[in-house]
Structure 1
Amino acid sequence: MIYAALQSDTLSWQRSLKFAGFYRGRLDGITGPLTREAAAQWRESHQQLQTRYGRLDKRTEDNLLTLQPLAALKVRQMMTALRGLADWKLICGIRTYEEQDRLYGKRPRVTRAKGGQSMHNFGIAGDVCLFVDGKDVWTPSEGANSIYKPVAALAHKLGLVWGGDFKSIYDPGHVQLGELSTATLHHAYTTGSATLAQLLQS
């Protein structure tokens, strides 16, 4: 999901804004002054990161803008370094619960996570892909010649969780902020009971 699409789903947008600590209203799916004020704060926080670290390619920028600012900081730092090595792009940021459910229903299966069970649903995860001559490259994904070696190194250096370290599934293009449980994230995200910063500090 890109930034413009995220804004079009008001309830999902409010959840993201509240989780970032910007939105002070109820999660009612109605765009009002508080939603617009929070949206301006979201844009400003991302613009500050762009100013500090520089702009990247459009696809990466579109996906970075969907991430929680705390996650976007680390992922932008990683992408800036990766772009200095090769044509790496961020190809996925946030997914709404509805998007996740549609992805879960695809066959052959591409994910085991339903809506509310993926770190992407909370705007704290991103997927990267290497492009060569404009075409996406996925292999070799393991071993000494793995194309994901710089992703792993940068994720570890920046304090991000790298999907290649997962025990349940090898997902080397995936990075995320923190190791909070999806149950904890789901409750806070859907009820507005806590921000991401508060969860990370607890």
Structure 2
Amino acid sequence: MKFAGFYRGDLDGLAGPLTREAAAQWSMSHRQLRDRYGMLDKRSEDNLWTLQPLAALKVRQMMTALRGLADWKLICGIRTYAEQDSLYKKRPRVTRAKGGQSMHNFGIAADVCLFVDGKDVWTPSEGADSIYKPVAALAHKLGLVWGGDFKSIYDPGHVQLGELPTAILHHAYTTGSATLAQLLQS
């Protein structure tokens, strides 16, 4: 909540009035986005509410547009470092980022998947018939980074807000030294 700019005190690990006020502001910001852009499916909503509000705005806009095209769902928002480490260890490789090295760890990345008749569809992911063409187009239009453009690993279901160095994100996120908005402006 400090990273979102809602918590105004020093990070002390205590849940007091400033924490409760920040949590209320977090919820209000997400409700306002939902009210403005419309309600999505429960899975997408649950994942959207884990994102930093600045990221949630862009991702919600993308998901609202995708909803009109097919049954796209948001399948991942924020991840803990432990969840990221578990994915890192999986084979075949699904990520090259350990805990603390993924934009998911800071609430500024999301993963989307197409569903047909209630089942997840992942292919074709490349080429002229790629199912991810609308994701790429909307991500680019909204100023999101699309994972299909990554040079290190092709991740077409991934979108994120900005390309900030993870060391800077980690420091700001864990110490409260800067908000996401401040980092995006510098």
Q: TM-score range by the shorter chain?
A: over 0.9
1:175 counterpart letter in structure 2 = V
Measured after TM superposition, the shift of residue 36 of structure 1 is 1.1
Q: TM-score, normalised by structure 1?
A: 0.89
Partner of 1:79: 63
- Output one character per residue of 1:47-95: Cα deviation in whole Å (capped at 9) or x when no partner: 1101111110000000000001000000000000001000000000001
Q: Is structure 2 residue 117 aligned with structure 1 residue 142?
A: no
Q: CA RMSD in A?
A: 1.1
Of residues 93, 99, 122, the one that matches 1:115 is: 99
1:47 counterpart letter in structure 2 = R
Of residues 32, 35, 51, the one that matches 1:51 is: 35
Measured after TM superposition, the shift of residue 33 of structure 1 is 1.6
CA distance in 2, matches of 1:105, 1:170: 18
CA distance in 2, matches of 1:96, 1:41: 22
Partner of 1:42: 26
Q: Is structure 2 residue 172 aligned with structure 1 residue 199?
A: no
Partner of 1:14: none
1:63 counterpart letter in structure 2 = N
Distance 1:156 1:57, change over 3 A: same
Partner of 1:131: 115
Contact 2:66 2:72 in 1 (8 A): yes
Q: Structure 2 stretches of 5 or more lacking a match?
A: none
SS of residue in 2 equivalent to 1:61: helix
Higher mean C-alpha displacement, 123-132 vs 93-102 = 93-102
Measured after TM superposition, the shift of residue 98 of structure 1 is 2.2
SS of residue in 2 equivalent to 1:198: helix
Partner of 1:103: 87
CA distance in 2, matches of 1:171, 1:86: 20
CA distance in 1, matches of 2:100, 2:11: 16
Q: Is structure 2 residue 65 aligned with structure 1 residue 62?
A: no
CA distance in 2, matches of 1:151, 1:108: 24
CA distance in 2, matches of 1:97, 1:132: 31
Measured after TM superposition, the shift of residue 112 of structure 1 is 1.7
Contact 2:50 2:107 in 1 (8 A): yes
Partner of 1:5: none
CA distance in 1, matches of 2:30, 2:101: 26
CA distance in 2, matches of 1:100, 1:169: 16
Measured after TM superposition, the shift of residue 114 of structure 1 is 1.2
CA distance in 1, matches of 2:21, 2:4: 13
Contact 2:55 2:107 in 1 (8 A): yes
Higher mean C-alpha displacement, 94-103 vs 66-75 = 94-103
Partner of 1:4: none
Measured after TM superposition, the shift of residue 107 of structure 1 is 3.9
SS of residue in 2 equivalent to 1:116: coil
The percent identity for this pair of structures is 90
SS of residue in 2 equivalent to 1:19: coil
Measured after TM superposition, the shift of residue 190 of structure 1 is 1.0
Measured after TM superposition, the shift of residue 115 of structure 1 is 1.2
- Output one character per residue of 1:174-200: Cα deviation in whole Å (capped at 9) or x when no partner: 000011111111111111100000001
Q: TM-score, normalised by structure 2?
A: 0.96
